[in-house]
């Protein structure tokens, strides 16, 4: 019997990791991985929508939310090793995986390197390419800017690119929630993760090896990981479907949870019927 609940703390890979585990024990399992620099609370609306029929796990990546940062340099490989260690600790052999942006980088790395552990993947507002030299330089400048002008200023600047322009008049609560997540992240985790993101490997060249159903979602106004990136992955992944979310930019699951959840539920249902067919 699993321990279900919110903000459960377990020692994983020598550090305390915080996760939510809700829904019926024994139901199909879906694990949510948040983007940068957010935390598991970004998945609250998806958890509410799914927990009647699915066991829904969302966790804080090391250094974010209520998880410890540990002493190692961050990397996407290390984040994948934490994900697998969490699954091992919870005795989960196989799960469905949903990652947004950096969560998608982790999900792609995980499915490509450990395909036997995952039965379906949802890639939201993400990309398979590595950072260009310009993107790397931008991240290094971001580190310097945070050191100089503080996290609050960084949060205000980031928010402008995360949401669609119309949301600044219609989605005040979601914008405040995203800003609160950024402010909760320790500056050291921001630096460590920005460095890790510059060093991450591309995952595009192995997309055609993915053999499980994949749903690709992207906000129509996403300027960070734009719809073009989603179309590219859709062409390469055999069993993938793409859906473009209206009235949303990069945080499409928070900005348009209705459409996001409809597509997610439809996909999860199709995956279950595929298994029983």
- Please state the closest distance from residue 197 (CB atom) to ligand MLT, in A: 5
Q: How far is the CB of 96 from ligand MLT (least distance, A)?
A: 20
How far is 140 from 113, CA to CA, in rounded Å? 28
Rounded least distance, CB 202 to ligand MLT, Å: 13
Whether omega before 89 lies within 30 degrees of 0, making that bond cis, reads: no
Instruction: Find the shortest distance in angstroms from Cβ 72 to ligand MLT.
Output: 20
| Helix or strand run (H / E) with residue 59 | strand 55-59
Q: Which C-beta is closer to ligand MLT: that of 49 or that of 197?
A: 197
Q: What is the DSSP string of 90-114?
A: TT-S-EEEEEETHHHHHHHHHHHH-
Please report whether residue 102 would count as binding ligand MLT according to CB under 6 A.
yes
Binding of residue 267 to ligand MLT (CB under 6 A): no
Contact residue for ligand MLT among 23, 35, 213, 227 (CB under 6 A) = 35
Q: Which is nearer to ligand MLT, 118 or 163 (CB)?
A: 163
Give the Cα separation of 277 and 271 in Å (integer). 10
Please state at what angle helix 76-89 crosses helix 187-199, rounded to 10 degrees: 110
Residue 35 Cβ vs ligand MLT, minimum distance, rounded to whole Å: 3
Residue 95 or residue 197: which is nearer to ligand MLT going by CB? 197
Nearer to ligand MLT (CB atom), residue 53 or residue 77: 77
Binding mask 200-239 for ligand MLT (x = CB under 6 A): ------------------------x---------------
Integer Cα distance of 48 and 123 in angstroms: 19
197 binds ligand MLT (CB under 6 A): yes
CB atoms within 10 A of CB 90: 20
* Torsion sign across C-alpha atoms 256, 262, 267, 272: positive
DSSP letter at 250 equals S
Q: Which residues bind ligand MLT (CB under 6 A)?
A: 35-36, 101-102, 197, 224
């Amino acid at each position: 019997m699993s321990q279900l609940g919110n903000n459960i703390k377990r020692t994983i890979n020598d550090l305390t990791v915080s996760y939510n585990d809700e829904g019926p024990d024994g139901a199909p399992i879906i694990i949510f991985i948040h983007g940068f620099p957010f935390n598991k609370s970004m998945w609250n609306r998806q958890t509410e929508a799914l927990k009647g029929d699915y066991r829904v796990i969302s966790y804080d990546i090391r250094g974010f939310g209520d998880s410890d940062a540990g002493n190692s340099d961050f990397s996407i490989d290390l984040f994948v090793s934490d994900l697998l260690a969490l699954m091992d600790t919870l005795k989960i052999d196989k799960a469905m995986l949903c990652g947004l942006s950096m969560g998608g980088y982790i999900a792609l790395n995980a499915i490509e390197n450990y395909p036997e552990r995952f039965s379906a993947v949802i890639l939201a507002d993400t990309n398979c390419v590595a950072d260009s030299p310009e993107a790397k330089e931008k991240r290094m400048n971001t580190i310097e800017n945070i050191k100089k002008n503080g996290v609050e200023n960084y949060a205000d600047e980031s928010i402008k690119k995360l949401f669609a322009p119309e949301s600044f008049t219609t989605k005040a609560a979601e914008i405040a929630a995203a800003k609160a997540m950024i402010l909760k992240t320790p500056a050291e985790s921001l630096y460590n993760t920005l460095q890790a993101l510059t060093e991450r490997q591309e995952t595009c060249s192995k997309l055609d090896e993915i053999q499980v159903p994949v749903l690709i979602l992207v906000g129509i106004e996403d300027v960070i990981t734009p719809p073009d990136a989603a179309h590219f992955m859709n062409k390469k992944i055999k069993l993938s479907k793409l859906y473009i979310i209206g009235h949303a930019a990069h945080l499409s699951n928070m900005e348009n949870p209705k459409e996001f959840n409809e597509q997610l539920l439809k996909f999860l249902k199709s995956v279950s019927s595929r298994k029983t067919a």
